[in-house]
Amino acid sequence: MDTAKVRLSIPDGVDPVGITGGGDALLRAIERRTTGDVVVRGGTITLTGTPDEVEILTKLFSYVIREASHGRHIAEDDVVRMMASLREGALGSTGFRDDILLTYRGKAIRPKTAGQKRYIDAIRSNTVTFCMGPAGTGKTYLAMAMAVAALKRHEVGRIVLTRPVVEAGENLGFLPGTLQEKIDPYVRPLFDALFDMTDMERGGELVEQGIIEIAPLAYMRGRTLNDAFVVLDEAQNTTPEQMKMFLTRLGFNSKFIVTGDTTQRDLMGRRGGLTDIEEILAGVEDVAFIHLDRTDVVRHALVGRIVEAYDAFEERIGASDRRRPKAGKGASGGRAHQ
């Protein structure tokens, strides 16, 4: 079997601890996930292994060195996600340097997984993009980042953020306050994401001027949204009729992003707007569907494990239901005697 060897130099002035992590934590995380050999001595990193494995390690350490050179902290989760993405071949030679924008704090927002990279590419290439996935995969956050970036580049004249107002165990009518005060809790996550990218004062000004509009989905009826970047969040709680109404609001020079998690529906006993949407729009040009999963979760690592546990439990329940005999085919209709 062919063996390849590559030597990378750590630039002068860059602390090797920024490359290997405190207590060599980053180095150990990489070594656990590679068949290659990594040796760090002084200012030199030596990578040995199969040509394919050395190519992955070279791209990975080039990224880590570049981040450390700019004084950026690299977390173990970032390295693990990048290795997985490089193995999928989704990052090419750019790694995660595909910045979307800088927040007002100067923090760069960029895709952190191969799934998120596909999501960003789909938004850039299509007028309508659907993104489905569990909590913590960045569906809404990245959509907001793309919307703010498009506004800053004057590609659109306004941003419209909308959500269906659906009660989850509480009746909206019994909440105290005016209509706007009752609606605010439902759209608050959109405000949170907005203010993370623009300072609160500037974000508030844009909302007051109508350049950024945050409103319940019901307020979209009868409108045509031109020159706008529109994000529909929590779309799993729409009805098919609401989804059709929303999609037909599309105007000229606009982009629509639809996000949702089909495992967290609050419309019990009713079909959702995302249920058959891929079948309905199959073959329609300029419409993309992106599915994220637990490997794309970028919150606390425990969130990914929680999602995985729920998925495994639902699979067991589904298998149990399939094995259970149907009534009238040998199954007793009453409760078995204990």
Task: State the DSSP string of 239-265.
Answer: -HHHHHHHHTTB-TT-EEEEEE-TTS-
Other Cβ atoms closer than 10 A to 170: 9
pLDDT attached to residue 69: 84
Quick one: residue 142, left, alpha or beta (phi over 0 = left, psi -120 to 50 = alpha)? alpha
- Could you give the number of structural domains in the chain? 2
pLDDT attached to residue 330: 46
Angle (nearest 5°) at CA 51 between 95 and 40: 70
Same domain, 46 and 153: no
Query: Looking at 88, 116, 134, which one is the last position of a domain?
Result: 88
pLDDT attached to residue 173: 53
* Tokens found for residue 59: 């791209």
pLDDT attached to residue 99: 60
Number of alpha carbons in the 13 Å side-chain half-sphere of residue 27:
17
Same domain, 60 and 115: no
Domain membership of residue 249 as a residue range = 101-315
For the domain that residue 178 is a member of, what is the CATH number? 3.40.50.300
Is 328 part of a structural domain of the chain? no
CA 68 from centroid of its chain's CA atoms = 25
- Sequence-distant (6+) residues with CB within 8 A of 245 are 220, 221
pLDDT attached to residue 66: 84
| pLDDT per position as a tens digit, 131-155 | 999 888 889 989 998 998 899 889 9
pLDDT attached to residue 322: 65
Beta-strand runs (E) in the chain: 4-9, 37-41, 44-49, 101-102, 108-109, 128-132, 158-163, 212-216, 228-232, 255-260, 287-291
| C-beta of residue 249 within 8 angstroms of C-beta of residue 230 | yes
- H or E element, residue 142: helix 139-152
Same domain, 26 and 58: yes
Query: Looking at 88, 120, 150, which one is the last position of a domain?
Result: 88
- Sequence-distant (6+) residues with CB within 8 A of 92 are none
- Sequence-distant (6+) residues with CB within 8 A of 217 are 162, 163, 164, 165, 232, 238, 242, 246
pLDDT attached to residue 129: 97
Is 15 part of a structural domain of the chain? yes
Q: What whole-number distance in Å separates Cα of residue 232 and Cα of residue 216?
A: 10
pLDDT attached to residue 281: 95
DSSP code at position 113: S
| pLDDT per position as a tens digit, 91-124 | 544 455 556 666 666 667 778 787 888 899 999 9
Mean pLDDT by groups of 10 residues along the chain of 338 residues? 81 85 88 89 88 86 84 80 73 52 68 86 94 90 90 92 67 54 68 80 87 88 94 92 95 96 79 91 94 80 76 79 59 42
pLDDT attached to residue 100: 67
Is 323 part of a structural domain of the chain? no
| C-beta of residue 74 within 8 angstroms of C-beta of residue 21 | yes
Same domain, 107 and 201: yes
Query: Looking at 36, 67, 88, which one is the last position of a domain?
Result: 88
> Exposed/middle/buried for 62, CB within 10 Å: 0-12, 13-18, 19+?
middle
Same domain, 162 and 287: yes
pLDDT attached to residue 331: 45
pLDDT attached to residue 136: 84
Same domain, 83 and 215: no
Identity of the amino acid at 233: D
| C-beta of residue 229 within 8 angstroms of C-beta of residue 154 | no
- Sequence-distant (6+) residues with CB within 8 A of 252 are 226, 227
For the domain that residue 54 is a member of, what is the CATH number? 3.30.1370.10
Is 324 part of a structural domain of the chain? no
pLDDT attached to residue 228: 96
Is 326 part of a structural domain of the chain? no
333 to each of 37, 301, 319, 326, 329, how far by Cα in Å? 63, 45, 21, 9, 10
Backbone angles phi, psi at 149, to 5 degrees: -65, -40
- Sequence-distant (6+) residues with CB within 8 A of 125 are 288
Is 93 part of a structural domain of the chain? no
pLDDT attached to residue 176: 59
Other Cβ atoms closer than 10 A to 188: 12
